[in-house]
Amino acid sequence: MAYIKIGLINRRKKKIVALGAQSKSSLCFAKGDAAYFSGSGGDLADLKDLKIFENRIKALKIKPEIIACDLHPEYASTKLADNWVKGEGLKVKSIQHHEAHVASCIVDNNIKGKVIGVAFDGTGFGKDGNIWGGEFFTGSLKKMKRVAHLKYIPMPGGEASIKRPWQMAFSYLYTSNLPTLTRLDKDRSGLLAQMIDKGINSPLTSSMGRLFDAVAAIIDIRSEVEYEGQAAIELEKAISCQPSAFSRKKRYNFKSKNEDGVIVIDWKPVIKGIVSDLQNKKTKAEISLKFHNAVCYMIKDVCVILRKKYKITKVCMSGGVFQNKYLAKHTKPLLEEQGFKVYLHKRLPAHDGNIALGQAAIVAGI
């Protein structure tokens, strides 16, 4: 298969092979000042896609000195990395998923110096053992620091809630002491409440993707999904039904507070605003627009705070959530009006297909 050649900012003599994430599988190998990126493929949870990926690795016909993989211990790509090094004396470098997202955007745009990295997606294993996905970083390929994130929320049912946005909707409403979905019967509501209260199969997440899912379910756009990102895609599409006369500046508002030097972004005011609008018979289109605007302005507000503290004026945005055209289109000018230089992906996708390049870039920069 054809590989895209991308220049690396940092030069490393040793050969690096990066195995990417679980979904949108990709390969990257690097030496010196160049990386060769495979483009994205299938989901490694699927045995057929995993076999194709293994064949791609064999086709490389190179012996790496360092293997880079995701921090998630259960990803198939991580297990492949562990198996590869056994008995061969190779080094494995585990790279945090969202740091790799930011790194890929840095390399894609050939950015020098420090950046504010915004990494929004559905799932990524965090350094604290929780599920990340609504993260802000500062730093460079050499070192990144997590400086802000969405407030944690339980995911009742764990990964099952990814396919059932109504479960995330319940969690946001229940945690906010708001009326839960009338579409749920008492048995299901009671079970989810017990799971959340007792911490049973309810890992904590800061995922922006799960927040999008929850909003879609709360306003009855999509309660269960048939493919990845379906709820968020349909939530964005709802905006097109909104009359053009509606103010583009009208929005809900996140709140934030400093917790031990990290900005924690509270979504409760947004959820409360959505419920209030539902009770006042506002349209799905209007609610979706106000929610999208809230996310755009939240990114701008957090970046302004971070610039004041860290003196950084470059912003990179990566992760599957930024496939949302409305979000990318409207956040960029908001930041530019504040004097930021804003970078989105140019040659690579925003989703997990860029992870392998980010992993290789970080290892080359260490």
Query: Both ends of the chain: CA-CA distance in Å?
Result: 29
In this predicted model, which residue has the larger pLDDT, 31 or 139?
Answer: 139
**What is the structure's pLDDT at 40?**
79
Distance CA 142, CA 365 (A): 5
| Residue 352 predicted with pLDDT over 80 | yes
Please report which confidence band the pLDDT of residue 87 belongs to, taking 50, 70 and 90 as the band edges: low
* Residue that has been written with the tokens 């493919």 in this structure: 227
Segment 303-350, tens digit of pLDDT: 999 999 999 999 999 999 999 999 999 999 999 999 999 999 998 999
What is the assigned CATH class of domain 4-103+350-365? alpha beta
Looking at the chain, the domain(s) classified CATH 1.10.357.160 span 153-295
Percent of all residues in the chain with a pLDDT value above 70, rounded to a whole number: 96
**What is the structure's pLDDT at 11?**
64
Segment 39-62, tens digit of pLDDT: 778 889 999 999 999 888 888 877
Beta-carbon contacts of residue 362 (< 8 Å; ≥ 6 apart): 68, 93, 95, 99, 100, 103, 141
**What is the structure's pLDDT at 28?**
92
Segment 228-277, tens digit of pLDDT: 999 999 999 999 877 654 566 799 999 999 999 999 999 999 999 999 99
| Residue 63 predicted with pLDDT over 70 | yes
* Residue that has been written with the tokens 């496939």 in this structure: 323
What is the assigned CATH class of domain 153-295? mainly alpha
Beta partners for residue 125, in sequence order:
131
Calculated CA dihedral for residues 157, 158, 162, 168, nearest 10 degrees:
60
- What average pLDDT does the structure give for the chain? 92
**What is the structure's pLDDT at 256?**
96
Looking at the chain, the domain(s) classified CATH 3.30.420.360 span 4-103+350-365
Segment 166-180, tens digit of pLDDT: 999 999 999 999 988
In this predicted model, which residue has the larger pLDDT, 23 or 365?
Answer: 23
Beta-carbon contacts of residue 245 (< 8 Å; ≥ 6 apart): none
Please report which confidence band the pLDDT of residue 10 belongs to, taking 50, 70 and 90 as the band edges: low
Q: Determine whether 203 is exposed, middle or buried from the number of CB atoms within 10 Å of its CB (0-12, 13-18, 19+).
A: middle
